[in-house]
Amino acid sequence: MVDATNDTVGNKAIVAFLHNVKKSFNGVEVLKDISLELHQSENLVILGRSGSGKSVLIKCMVGLIEADDGDINVLGYDVRHLEPKALNEMRQQVGFSFQSSALYDSMTVQQNLEFPLTRNLGLTNKTELNDKVIIALQDVGLEGTAQKMPAELSGGMKKRIGIARTLILNPKIMLYDEPTAGLDPITASEINELILSVREKYKTSSLIITHDISCARHTSDRVIALVDGKTKMEGTFDAIKDTSDADLAPFFNY
Amino acid sequence: MPDAIQTLLLECESIFRFVQKLLKQAVARPFEWRETVRQCFEIGNRSLFLICFTAFLSGVVFTRQSRPSLSSFGAESWLPSLVSQAVIRSLGPLITGLICAGKLGSNIAAELASMKVTEQIDAMEVSGTRPFSYLVVSRVIATTLMMPLLVVFADVIALFGSYLTVHTINNTSLQLYLNEVSVVITFLDIFSSILLATFFGFAIGFVGSYAGYTAANGTSGVGKAANNAVVISMLFIFIIDLLSLQIINLFR
């Protein structure tokens, strides 16, 4: 097993990498030999059109979808060959923000945030739980929503609570699946700011899946453009935004 | 290999893996005590009124329907024995099983399926919170434990309904009625009824959970899961009832 945490590029350690990853569904190849590296404290944006395999890629990273071939290494864990116990250990160090927010709709916001704490850390002390929930809600700017049900929240608020629920376990890596999808430009910009402030406060490395150019511009240190399940281009946003590539140019100029 | 057979075999493999996971996680630590107790309360409490009401009506109707036939042979005094044997051996578990299949099976399947299609189960999975044991194992154990209790309630209420009917028509005393019942009901009848209910409970919990947990295709998948859960668990109930009848008859 290659330990991702031992490899470095420049001064930054590699916290996760994918090497020649392939995935097909019913004979249709969704990921074709994808390779990438995520560095310590980096915001890496995977940019691509709908159906280009972006979401499949991050679901493969946390073992929600099984890749057909290749190596996936996250925080030193060889994801494709992990026993359930080790897989859980790895998952507890990786925060995953879903496109749909995926809040538990039968629980209040407070219960949503307490759930990973009681289940993973075995915390039962009410005061301790309450303190952690308050801090997580403050970090996403939603104090005062603890007793609300998810159905009472707006789309942007749900996204923030979803992020707070992952932050409460102090993850080392954050995976954002379309964090600004379906949001108005102002709320989307607030989410972009939140992604940056999460990195500052929690020192996380983030992989952000998006088709939103504005999100990519604001949050990325580095961008990988994905076209039809293949890496088409890689670099900083400024370096690739003026590309003349026939597949990517319309995307940046739309 | 034809597509239909391939699909069937894949489904069988999926069911086998689900059972395997269920049995493995049912004995794995940490055990979901709190959620299992909560589910037991939800499942038992949620179904109690409906089951008691239906059992009472069944007791009354069955007694009224059987009375003319027995009267024509001058065997009206056998009514308590006939009704109690029918209720305890088959009617009680069957009515309770069918109602629970409709009510609990669809509820479990729809709840889990909607969690599945809105990625809530995936969210539990990626945060390492063991959703299978929290959502599935607790529900299957709860239905398995609660069904026998519900059947005991149903049996008692159905017999009470029957007694009220017999008492209204023939002015039979409660003591005489219970005496007639106790003469014909054996330990095997009660034991087999409870065992039958346990199997029904497992079938309802398992089918509902499987249909919900493996749901796909968005909101239409939720409806399909609930529908499948009801139809398949009812089918299972009749099959288990038939098989258990054959086996129990060997001991009679």
> Tens of pLDDT along A161-185?
999 999 999 999 999 999 998 889 9
Q: Which of A64, A92, A100 sits opposite B128 (nearest CB)?
A: A92
Asked if residue A1 has pLDDT above 70, the reply is no
* Ranges of chain B with pLDDT below 70: 1
Cα A7 to Cα A20: distance, rounded to the nearest angstrom: 17
C-alpha separations of B60 from A248, B155, B161, B213, B223 in Å: 75, 12, 5, 39, 35
Q: Which of A91, A98, A162 sits opposite B128 (nearest CB)?
A: A91
**B104 half-sphere exposure, CB direction, 13 A CA radius:** 37
Tens-digit pLDDT profile for residues A201-230 = 999 999 999 999 999 999 999 999 988 888
CA angle A220, A223, A229 (to 5 degrees): 135
Mean pLDDT over each residue of chain A, to the nearest integer: 89
Confidence grade of residue A243 (pLDDT, cut at 50, 70, 90): confident
Note the ipTM here: 0.87
Nearest alpha-carbon partner for A31 in A235, A233, A231:
A231
Asked if residue B17 belongs to a domain, the reply is: no
Q: Which pLDDT score, from 0 to 100, does residue B180 have? A: 87
Range of the domain at B236: 32-61+77-251
C-alpha–C-alpha distance, residues B149 and A165, integer Å:
39
Per-residue pLDDT for A49 more than 90?
no
Q: Can you give the pLDDT at residue A11? A: 62
CB-CB under 8 Å, B126 with A62 = yes
B117-134 pLDDT, tens digit each? 999 999 999 988 889 999
Closest of A79, A97, A80 to residue A89, by C-alpha:
A79
CB-based contact A216:A182 (threshold 8 Å): no
Once rounded to an integer, what is the mean pLDDT over residues A31-51?
91
* pLDDT score recorded for residue A253: 72
Q: Which residues lie closer than 8 Å to B8 by C-beta, 6 or more apart?
A: none
Contacts A115 to B, Cβ<8 Å: 124, 127, 129
Phi, psi (degrees; rounded to nearest 5) at B118:
-100, 15
Chain B, nearest residue to A61 by Cα? B126
Domain assignment present for residue B125? The answer is yes
| Rounded-to-integer distance, Cα A55 and Cα A47, Å | 11
Nearest CB to B118 within list A87, A102, A169: A102
Please report residues of B whose CB lies closer than 8 A to that of A170.
none
Using an 8 Å CB-CB cutoff, list chain A residues near B124: 104, 115
Q: Which residues of A touch B (CB under 8 A)?
A: 59, 62, 64, 87-89, 91-92, 94, 96, 98-100, 102-105, 115-116, 119-120, 162, 165-166, 169
Mutate to test the interface with B, among A60, A82, A98, A175 (most CBs of B within 10 A): A98
Q: How many domains does chain A have?
A: 1
Residue A103 has pLDDT above 80, yes or no: yes
Residue B196 CB neighbours (<10 A): 27
Q: What is the pLDDT of residue A6?
A: 46
Angle (CA) A74-A88-B136 rounded to 5° is 140
Residue whose tokens read 């996380």? A204
Which two structure tokens, joined as six digits, stand for A140? 């996403």
Domain containing A120: what range?
A: 4-253
- CATH number, domain with residue A113: 3.40.50.300
Give the Cα separation of A100 and A113 in Å (integer). 17
**HEC letters along chain B:** CCHHHHHHHHHHHHHHHHHHHHHHHHHCCCCCHHHHHHHHHHHHHHHHHHHHHHHHHHHHHHHHHHHHHHHHCCCHHHHHHHHHHHHHHHHHHHHHHHHHHHHHHHHHHHHHHHHHHCCHHHHHHHCCCCHHHHHHHHHHHHHHHHHHHHHHHHHHHHHHHHHHHHHHHHCCCHHHHHHHHHHHCCHHHHHHHHHHHHHHHHHHHHHHHHHHHCCCCHHHHHHHHHHHHHHHHHHHHHHHHHHHHHHHHHHC
Peptide bond into B30 cis (omega under 30): yes
- Please say whether the beta carbons of A26 and A16 come within 8 A: no
* Domains held by chain B: number: 1
Q: What is residue A46's predicted lDDT score, i.e. its pLDDT?
A: 93
Say yes or no to pLDDT of A10 above 70.
no
Q: Using an 8 Å CB-CB cutoff, list chain B residues near A105.
A: 118, 120
Residue A79 has pLDDT above 60, yes or no: yes
What is the C-alpha to C-alpha distance for residues A138 and A143, in angstroms, rounded to an integer? 5
Instruction: Quote the tokens at residue B112.
Output: 């889990």
Q: Tell me which chain A residues have a C-beta less than 8 angstroms from the C-beta of B123.
A: 96, 98, 102-104, 162, 165
pLDDT of the residue at A216: 92
- Which ranges in chain A belong to alpha helices (H)? 54-61, 84-91, 109-116, 126-139, 155-167, 185-202, 213-219, 237-240, 249-253
Distance CA B128, CA A84 (A): 10
Residue B249 CA: distances (Å) to CA of A38, A198, B187, B245 = 67, 68, 14, 6
The pLDDT of residue A95: 93
